[in-house]
Structure 1
Amino acid sequence: MAFKVVIKPEAEQELLEALKWYDSKEINLGSELYFEISKLIDAIQENPNLFQKRYKDFRITFTKRFRYGIHYTLEKDIIYIHAILHTSQKSPK
């Protein structure tokens, strides 16, 4: 089954801010974060039930290098990405 991925505007904004911050620290570091996030979104799209529910219907999976969590829900055949947060940030409500 092919799952459609919808990235909520808030999650997209969080990612853009993170990419900008990492790029300000070191050239191409933002690109490395983007690549890791993209691979994780691909894994979610391939098998969204692989990752454990953490609260309510939200599932979270984490990057290895950058310590970011992708918070998402699965509704029928659509994956909604609600947040892309560093592990030191609060989860969305």
Structure 2
Amino acid sequence: MPLTPEHTAGLVGMWEEHGKGRIGIEAYYTEVQSLENNPYRTRSRPYLHFGILGVISIGRVSLFANAENLLDVRQTKNDPLLRRQRAASGEWTVDAWAPLWASF
């Protein structure tokens, strides 16, 4: 089935010190996916998505910081999103199979 990874896995961990804060990590692995109507490849590349979360508690106030995609995985690092010419279906872009941008 197109755009469905053969295998995926995720791991999330959090450490907390009561009254002070907590820090967590997350890691997700996505295996190759079959692609349809993509002029650049028939199968995607596998990728790892990594993020961290931190919370500091000061009295009744909590400050949050979150960073995602720390490995800067982007589909556009491998192939362009725009097709060289319009597809028979009229589309100018390929389907997304990986993150399209990094967010910090």
Q: Which has the larger radius of gyration?
A: 2
Q: Which has the higher helix share?
A: 1
Which protein, 1 or 2, shows the higher relative CO under an 8 Å CA cutoff with sep ≥ 6?
A: 1
* TM-score calculated relative to the size of structure 1: 0.31
